[in-house]
A and B are shown apart, each in its own frame.
Chain A
Amino acid sequence: MTLLEAFAGLIQPLPFYTISLGVFLGIVVGALPGMTGGMLMALTLPFTYYMTSSNAITLLIGMYVGGISGGLITATLMRIPGEPASVVTTLDGYPLARKGQPGRALGLGISASLVGGGLSWIALVLLSPPLAEFGLKFGPFENFALAILALVLISSLSRRSFVRGLIAGLLGMLVGVPGLDETSGQMRFTFGIDSLSAGFNLLPVILGVFALSQVFADLMTGDVKVQRVNADRKGIFISVADYWIHGWNMLRSAVIGIFMGAMPGVGASVASIAAYTTARNMSKTPEKFGTGSEEGIIASETANNASSGGTLIPIITLGLPGGFTDAVLLAALQIHNLQPGPHFFKNNTTIVNTIMAAHLLSHALMFVMMVLGSFWIVRLVDIPKRWISPCVLVLCVVSAFSLNGRMFDVWTMLAFGAVGLVLEYLRVPLAPFAIGLILGPMAEGQFRAAMMWSNGSLEPLVTRPISLTLLLFAAALFVWPFLRERRAATST
């Protein structure tokens, strides 16, 4: 299937309704504080069992794009970033809206989101084939080194402590250990519990650690009292001249977003900060930033949407997730017996092209829905947490149960919900946990295959150029936080 055929497939009634529903739900959830697109995707996973792989992925991509974009609405009109990726948008979006231009503020953000998404789609289409081709050169040593690098990278770039990031990654990997070992056929770490013979299912663990713990954490805070800007749609359509004026800013921010999105552990939030800071540093009027600067809104929203395409590149070409939401996407593919990586890219052109087409179409739908419905969607924030939280909890339980029709998965989810809450309390970042959970079995399988191939010798890890480069990079990232702390300590 070609990319054009994938687009044609998506505009058929069922796929089109599916992707539209995904984008709409993503925008709504993205706008709601405390709910994230990733959470919505995790809750939706069980329903995708009953869909074709293409429709399931299409729905999730729609939610992914909608989730990133929806945060803009509440960030601009209420000064509440619905998604972490929209935090920077509040700095200029809200002040501009307060100055009597809410339509203009939203219009700039929505248009920038579309441009960022479009440019990142071009990068996705152009960069994925050569990267997948390069990935085909990887053997077990390289794949193992890549998994280690991804884990170290996401730990070192996590918002919190590097050591705690590594701990989260290792804990995630350990969760993948129990059950039947496919290489040796031995049962391990099951402690006589029959239900553990197939290991922990990904979905209850993900639902517990990310969705459930988030809901309980939310319950610790009451409903947020906010002051909303009055709705005024005037200016929501920006002119061609605006695109021309902000063109360079959009392009630069998109490149930053794509690059940041492609790096494991960085993602949309950091991309928007980096683009915003760069825009301020290169602006002729940096003093306007934070007071309603149009450049600030453009930079932030272009970058966070551009990161969506960047994130998909390592997922479909190397099977590397960059964060929690990516881990859910990868889990969805695995549920449908699809294992992303270089071979997947080459042999599953139907799914790959559907993902690419869905990414662009989602951005187009997001643009239409946000332009037409932003001022309606913002009213949903009035729904109090006391309604949302119980609904999410009930959905979590029924989703976990429906996976295999057994209560063991519900108990697993509840246990990992408690684990997630405790880890949050201890300032342990959760994204590396997801990466460890997904990459752990892959890293172990590759490591053992490599050891069998080399008769137990670790030497090829450092004699093969690609694995050596990846490991050196991982080592540098490992040492960097310690050097930085040391430098900071000596300078004070």
Chain B
Amino acid sequence: MPSWLVSPVVGRLRDLEGIFDGAPHGINHCLINEYLPGQGIMPHEDGGAYWPVVATVSLGGSLVLDVTAKQSNSNSDADFETTGRDKTASWRILQEPRSLLLTTGSAYTDTLHGIAEVAEDVDLNEQTVANWGLLSDQDAIAAKDGRSERTTRVSLTLRDVLKVSAVGSKIFGKARPGGR
């Protein structure tokens, strides 16, 4: 891990008490993605190759991460029949530059996440953004009528890869999901 990631990012993550407790290797892996305006990633899950805690640091630009509960067969059909629409639970997480998003527990195991391929995220407000109350600058978004233009965003996705060598060969072989 290069020094420019250890300090400040990795070291500061290790200071988050309890979050990475139990991860066999701590943080041993950083995926760096660049998202240009209009780029995104289809909904996906990250699966069992990683310890189920993921830290995402956003740099340079804002975008919305769409988190959706995995379909459960128990009630969805009945819900659909009675309401005429899909009631799958979903959450929009606005990731501002310099922010950290931590995903743990069932938020990791029971959801899919993706990023819409849009040049602008719209309709952002207290009702639609799950982390609205935690944002650094709600006023800036409100002043733009709930719109946030995409600019180039670089994300650092930091995790514990459980089987370093086996997983490594898979990752090197072809592009795989994992973007956030």
Q: Is the pairing of A and B real?
A: no
Q: Which residues of B contact A (CB under 8 A)?
A: none
List the interface of chain A (C-beta within 8 A of B): none
